[in-house]
Amino acid sequence: MAHQANQRPLSFYLLSSLMAALLVFLYAPMVCVYILSFQGPDGGMSFPMVGWSTHWFEVLFRGTGGQGMGDVPGSFRRSMRLAAFVSVLSMVIAVSAGMAYRRSFPGANFVFYSAITSMVLPGIFVGFGIALTFNLLGWQINWFSSGIGAQLTWSLPFGLLIMFIVLGRFNPAYEEAATDLGANASQRFRMVILPIILPGVIGIFVSSITSSYEESARTQLNVGLGNTMPMEVTGLLTGSSTPVLFAIGTMTTLVMFVFILGAVALMGSMARRRAARPDS
Amino acid sequence: MQLKKRDAPEMTPEIPSDEPRLRQVTKGHRFDVELVALTKAYNAKTLAVDAISLRIPRASYCCLLGPSGCGKTTTLRMLAGHETVTDGAIRIHDEEITHRAPIDRGTSMMFQDYALFPHLTALENVAFSLKVRQVPRKEREAQAREYLELVQMDHLANRLPNQLSGGQQQRVALARSLITRPKVLLLDEPLSALDPFLRTRMRAELKRIQKELGITFVHVTHSQEEALALSDVMVVMNDAKIMQAAPAREIFETPANAFVARFIGGHNVIGRDGKTISVRADRCRIGTGPGLNSIAGEVTMVEYHGPFVQVSVCGEGNTDLTAMMSDAAYFEESPRIGSKVALSWEPAVEHVLGPEAVAFLAK
């Protein structure tokens, strides 16, 4: 092995440094946030650090407001509630649509392109449009109606794309084999298709949670009373602020990492279950 | 038995002979499968299968042979019910099943890449058809184990498909198909994914299981060798039509037309006196003799195969001819590449070929 390592060409080192530079570029800004979140109680929003403490985390978790801290726990709850509904809905709709697209139907292309187009429409106008339409029809905007709808215009196209890729690689012979063995349509779906595409379905769920949690352009005009996290953070940024913002950033990163690692571990354990089941 | 199975599972292709309950109940029908003017059209112009008719006698091993795109797989898929029939009829055990659902036809299909469910163990794969019929777990696992034993895979019952070799996967797929007690087992190029050594062994095993169960196997292949080795009834297809359907020996000895003679291999197709004749390559020799018919030509290739030597000759009018000579006969003369020779044969071994449009029915 050592001999082989010596044989690595120059391009290997060049490309590795390029990759390292890319990672620094991607994560360095966040690292500043993580470091600043441990700013001392008298420190400000920028370097230098005035001592080290967990003071701003304490402020955040005390949840009593003050010290540049708005209604963070409330907006966190609102965001999570929204993310939960949006991700379940995206998952169900994307899987159903993916299954529908396995057969061609009239207008399939039109529906597909309209779904993809909503990804490239400027979010702020989509949000504005939804709010205006609700206003026009005399409906009250609310998180569970216009809020979820606005977020779905963002998370659903991604879910659809993932589903098309997953089902595009699905070998139709599995389904035919199941039919041959006497499975009806619902048994085929439950016992063959769904278990095989499950990693992709979990992928849709996780990507929908993150895209819902961080979405603000479409959400802000449609969510009704109370802020979501991105709106709250934007608000805090523009108002007079304290390093509690950075503590929020650090916590959010942690929560998202736990989510993603959990999902990766779940998919990995499914793959391992397939790869190494013990012999009898 | 136990020991033998665990030590060398693929080396013991013995079928337990004390399995009478796996045999099908015989009824008073003459043909296991009848195709009547079966047609598959994708549109008005493209015919995948063009009004083919075929009768497969009881408990036969039938091979559908032909080049790719000849309609053999489409025919098999229509038999299985995975492809709709445009016109014509399919009868299995004297019962018309043309438009029935796959499970109600009495057929079971083994897919080319086996299509074992990747998330289920070998045992669960085999038990699948019982599970969808809501057979209780204990009972379906016991039955599935019995079928895994039939294919000597019971010792790997809890493995997932990707932990099994190609040959083992095929055995599981076979058990999964057989557990539905099919009247006709359909196999779509079952041996093409295996290495040559395993292919020959699985071939023998398929034939043995077919004899053991006493049901008809319909096996699609593009390998002439496979079809000759396995078939009771061999069906040569080309261009959506059946060129010839007959026992393997009859096809090899009396090919119906030039296509069959060429496709099956080992034949020289020669135009003579306004007729097209075929002469088996192993009945040809290099050199002339009294009373022999011959064609002059030039040796283009000599291949040594051990027991025989294959000599390729470019004859008059640029026809490619082949002589398969015993090694003894070849080395008597030892013609070299480029030598001018005569390829000759006894007039009695000539076989007159018919026109290609005629389709033959198995009797």
Which CATH number do you get for residue B291?
Answer: 2.40.50.100
pLDDT tens digits for range A186-220: 999 999 999 999 888 988 998 898 888 888 888 88
Q: Which domains does chain A have, with CATH numbers?
A: 52-60+69-274 (1.10.3720.10)
**Which residues in chain B touch residue A186, judged by CB atoms under 8 angstroms apart?**
none
Last residue of some domain: B202, B224, B252?
Answer: B252
Are B157 and A275 an interchain contact pair (Cβ–Cβ within 8 Å)?
Answer: no
First to last CA, chain B: 42
**Which residues in chain A touch residue B162, judged by CB atoms under 8 angstroms apart?**
274-275
Distance separating alpha carbons of residues A13 and A238, to the nearest angstrom: 44
Residues B285 and B177 in one domain: no
Instruction: Scan for tokens 């702020």, then name that residue.
Output: A124
> What is the b/e burial string over A153-175, where b = at least 16 CB atoms within 10 angstroms of the residue's CB?
bbbbbbbbbbbbebbeebeebbb
Pick from B80, B112, B132: CB nearest A182: B132
Are B103 and A179 an interchain contact pair (Cβ–Cβ within 8 Å)?
Answer: yes
Instruction: Find, in chain A, the residue whose alpha carbon is nearest to that of B119.
Output: A274
B252/chain A closest Cα distance in angstroms: 34
Residues B222 and B289 in one domain: no
Residues of the domain holding B32: 2-252
Residues B38 and B180 in one domain: yes
Q: Is residue B114 part of a domain?
A: yes
What does the pLDDT read at residue B142?
93
For A47, which DSSP code? S
Residues B70 and B148 in one domain: yes
What does the pLDDT read at residue B90?
93
pLDDT tens digits for range A36-51: 888 777 777 777 777 7
**Which residues in chain B touch residue A275, judged by CB atoms under 8 angstroms apart?**
160, 162-163
Are A191 and B128 an interchain contact pair (Cβ–Cβ within 8 Å)?
Answer: yes
Distance separating alpha carbons of residues A208 and A86, to the nearest angstrom: 7
Distance separating alpha carbons of residues B141 and A24, to the nearest angstrom: 56
Pick from B111, B162, B163: CB nearest A177: B111
pLDDT tens digits for range A140-175: 888 888 888 888 888 888 899 999 888 888 888 999
Q: Which two tokens stand for residue B238?
A: 């080309």
Q: Which amino acid would we find at residue B154?
A: D
- The total of structural domains in chain B comes to 2
Q: Is residue B358 part of a domain?
A: no
Q: Is residue B272 part of a domain?
A: yes
Distance separating alpha carbons of residues B260 and B271, to the nearest angstrom: 15
Cα B299 off chain centre by: 33
Distance separating alpha carbons of residues B114 and B222, to the nearest angstrom: 17
Residues B207 and B276 in one domain: no
Q: Is residue B361 part of a domain?
A: no
Last residue of some domain: B224, B252, B280?
Answer: B252
Pick from A181, A196, A277: CB nearest B160: A277
Are A179 and B119 an interchain contact pair (Cβ–Cβ within 8 Å)?
Answer: no
Q: Which one, of A255, A245, A250, A254, lies nearest residue A59 by Cα?
A: A245
Instruction: Find, in chain B, the residue whose alpha carbon is nearest to that of A174.
Output: B115
B14: pLDDT strictly greater than 60: no
pLDDT more than 70, % of chain A:
91
Q: What is the torsion angle, in degrees rounded to the nearest 10, for the CA atoms of residue B272, residue B275, residue B280 and residue B283?
A: -40
Residues B78 and B191 in one domain: yes
Are B132 and A187 an interchain contact pair (Cβ–Cβ within 8 Å)?
Answer: yes
- Which domain CATH number covers B27? 3.40.50.300
Instruction: Scan for tokens 């015989």, then name that residue.
Output: B26
Pick from A173, A182, A277: CB nearest B159: A277
Last residue of some domain: B252, B285, B305?
Answer: B252
Q: Is residue B259 part of a domain?
A: no
Distance separating alpha carbons of residues B186 and B92, to the nearest angstrom: 12
What rounded mean pLDDT belongs to chain A? Answer: 82
Instruction: Find, in chain A, the residue whose alpha carbon is nearest to that of B120.
Output: A274
| ipTM of the complex as predicted | 0.79
Residues B224 and B342 in one domain: no
The least confident of A268-277, B162-171, B211-220 is A268-277
Q: Is residue B38 part of a domain?
A: yes
Q: Is residue B362 part of a domain?
A: no
Distances (CA, A) of B241 to A211, B82, B363: 57, 20, 18
Pick from A180, A182, A280: CB nearest B158: A280
Residue A160 exposure: Cα atoms within 13 Å on the Cβ side: 19
Q: Is residue B108 part of a domain?
A: yes
Are A196 and B131 an interchain contact pair (Cβ–Cβ within 8 Å)?
Answer: no
Q: Could you tell me if B142 and B179 are in contact, meaning their C-beta atoms sit under 8 angstroms apart? A: no
Residues B179 and B149 in one domain: yes
Distance separating alpha carbons of residues B311 and B285, to the nearest angstrom: 9
- Tell me chain A's radius of gyration from C-alpha atoms: 24
Instruction: Find, in chain A, the residue whose alpha carbon is nearest to that of B115.
Output: A174
Distances (CA, A) of B48 to A236, B36, B51, B71: 69, 15, 10, 5
Are A183 and B132 an interchain contact pair (Cβ–Cβ within 8 Å)?
Answer: yes
Judged by DSSP in three states, B57 sits in strand
Residues B168 and B201 in one domain: yes
Residues B235 and B330 in one domain: no
Residues B97 and B192 in one domain: yes
Residues B212 and B303 in one domain: no
